[in-house]
Structure 1
Amino acid sequence: MTDQQDETSVQTAVAVVGANGHTGRFVVAELMRRGLRPIAIGRSAARLAEAVFPATSIEIREAAVEDDAALDRALAGAAAVINCAGPFMDTADAVVRAALRAGIHYLDVTAEQQSVQATFEHHAAAAQAAGVVIMPAVGFYGGLADLLVATVLDEWDHTDTIEIRVALDSWLPTKGTRVTGEKNTAKRLVVIDGQLEPVRQPAPEIVSVLPAPFGHQTLLEIPFSEVPLIARRVQTRELHSFLSTTALKDVRDPSTPPPQAVDESGRSAQRFAVEVLVTQGDVHRRIIAQGQDIYAITAPIICEAVQRILSGDIRGVGARSPAEIFNAASFLEALGSILSVETGDM
Structure 2
Amino acid sequence: MTTWLLYGATGYTGKLIAQQAVERGLRPILAGRSKEKVQPIAEELGLEFRIFELDNQAARHLEGIGLVLHCAGPFEKTSKPMIHACLEAGAHYLDITGEISVFEHTHSLHEAAQKREIILCSGVGFDVIPTDCTALKLKQALPDAVELALGFDSDSGISPGTMKTMVEGLGGGNIIRKDGQLTAVAIGKHQRMIDFGRGRKSAMAIPWGDVATAYYTTGIPNITAWIPTPKPAAKAARLMNVASPLLSSEKVKKPLLDWIDRRVKGPNEEERAGSSAYIWGQAKNADGVIKTCRIGTANVYDLTVYGALEVTQRLLSGDYPGGSWTPAALFGPELLESLPGSGRFEIDSFYPGTAN
Instruction: Calculate the TM-score normalised by the size of structure 2.
Output: 0.81
Give yes or no for contact 2:204–2:227 (8 Å, CA) kept in 1: yes
- Aligned with residue 39 of structure 1, among 29, 35, 46: 29
Mark the CA change 1:262 to 1:190 in structure 2 (over 3 Å): closer, same or farther.
same
Offset, 1:257: 5.1
Distance 2:174 2:61 in 1: 34
Partner of residue 131, structure 2: 145
2:291, 2:20 → 1: CA distance? Answer: 33
Q: Which has the larger radius of gyration?
A: 2
SS of the residue aligned with 1:161?
strand
- 1:279 Cα deviation (Å)? 2.0
How many angstroms apart in 1 are the aligned matches of 2:8 and 2:278?
Answer: 27
Partner of 2:63: 76
Structure 1 stretch displaced more, 71-80 or 185-194: 185-194
- Provide the C-alpha distance between the structure 1 equivalents of 2:180 and 2:117, rounded to a whole number of angstroms: 31
User: Partner letter of residue 285 of structure 1?
Assistant: K
Q: CA deviation at 1:87?
A: 0.7
Q: Determine which of 234, 240, 243 is the counterpart of 2:227.
A: 243
The residue number in structure 1 matching 2:205 is 221
- Residues 202, 333 of structure 1: CA spacing in aligned structure 2 closer, same or farther, 3 A cutoff? closer
Q: Does residue 168 of structure 2 align to residue 178 of structure 1?
A: no
Instruction: Structure 2 unaligned segments of length 5 or more: list them.
Output: 238-255, 350-356
Identity percentage of aligned residues: 25
Q: Deviations over 1:82-121 (max 9, x none)?
A: 1111111110010011111110100111111011112222
Question: Could you tell me which residue of structure 2 aligns to residue 345 of structure 1?
Answer: 348
Matched residue of 2:6: which SS? strand
Q: How far apart are residue 156 of structure 1 and its match?
A: 4.4
Alpha-carbon spacing, 1:262–1:28, altered in 2? closer, same or farther (3 Å): closer
Please list the CA deviations of residues 201-250 of structure 1 after superposition, one character each: whole Å capped at 9, or x if unmatched. Answer: 542122223434xx33221111311111111242324211111227x97x
SS in 2 for 1:275: strand
Confirm whether residue 326 of structure 1 aligns to residue 349 of structure 2. no
CA distance in structure 2 between the aligned counterparts of 1:260 and 1:201, rounded to whole angstroms: 27
Report if aligned partners of 2:294, 2:347 keep a CA contact under 8 Å in 1. Answer: no
* Structure with greater helix percent: 2
Q: Which has the higher strand share?
A: 1
Amino acid of the residue matched to residue 148 of structure 1? Answer: T
Amino acid across the alignment from 2:302 = A
List aligned pairs for 1:69-218, cutoff 5 A. Answer: 69=57, 71-121=58-108, 123-154=109-140, 156-170=142-156, 172-184=157-169, 186-200=172-186, 202-212=188-198, 215-218=199-202
CA-CA distance at 1:153 after TM superposition: 2.2
Whether the 8 Å CA contact 2:12–2:266 is kept in 1: the answer is no
- The DSSP-based 3-state class of the residue aligned with 1:340 is coil
Among 65, 81, 90, the alignment partner of 2:54 is: 65
The 8 Å contact of residues 96 and 106 in structure 1, kept in 2 or not, is answered as yes
Structure 2 CA distance for aligned equivalents of residues 148 and 22 of structure 1: 27
CA distance in 1, matches of 2:220, 2:46: 48
Q: What displacement does 1:277 show?
A: 1.1
Q: What is the rounded CA distance, in whole Å, between the counterparts of 1:232 and 1:211 in structure 2? A: 26
Higher deviation after alignment, 24-33 or 38-47: 24-33
Q: Partners of 1:144 and 1:341 in 2: how far apart? A: 12
Deviates more, 1:30-39 or 1:94-103: 30-39
Q: Which amino acid in 2 is paired with 1:301?
A: G
- The SS at the match of 1:236 is coil
CA contact (8 A) 1:143 1:226 kept: no
Contact 2:10 2:38 in 1 (8 A): yes
The CA RMSD over aligned residues, in Å, is 2.7
Alignment of 1:305-320 (within 5 A): 305-312=311-318, 314=320, 316-320=321-325
Shift in Å, 1:34: 3.8
Partner of 2:267: 260
In the aligned structure 1, how far is the partner of 2:269 from the partner of 2:316?
33
Q: Equivalent residue of 1:277, what SS?
A: strand
Q: Which runs of 5+ in 1 are unaligned?
A: 1-9
Instruction: Report if aligned partners of 1:313, 1:326 keep a CA contact under 8 Å in 2.
Output: no
Deviations 1:260-307 (A, max 9, x none): 3134xx845333211011123343222222233212211211221222
* One of 278, 282, 288 as aligned partner of 2:283: 278
Query: Comparing 35-44 with 200-209, which one deviates more in the overlay?
Result: 200-209
Measure the CA separation in 2 of the matches of 1:72 and 1:328: 33
8 A contact 2:197–2:280 mirrored in 1: no
Deviation track 1:36-68 (CA, whole Å, cap 9, x = no partner) reads 321111112232232x355321112111213x4
Pair 1:21-2:11 in alignment? yes
Task: Report how many aligned residue pairs link the two structures.
Answer: 321
Following the alignment from structure 1 to structure 2, what is the Cα–Cα distance between the partners of residues 210 and 144? 13
Q: Distance in 1 between matches of 2:229 and 2:141?
A: 34
Equivalent residue for 2:45, pick from 48, 56, 64: 56
Cα separation, partners in 2 of 1:312 and 1:187, compared to 1, 3 Å? farther
Q: For the structure 1 residues 267 and 303, does the alpha-carbon distance in structure 2 shift closer, same or farther, using more than 3 Å as the test?
A: same
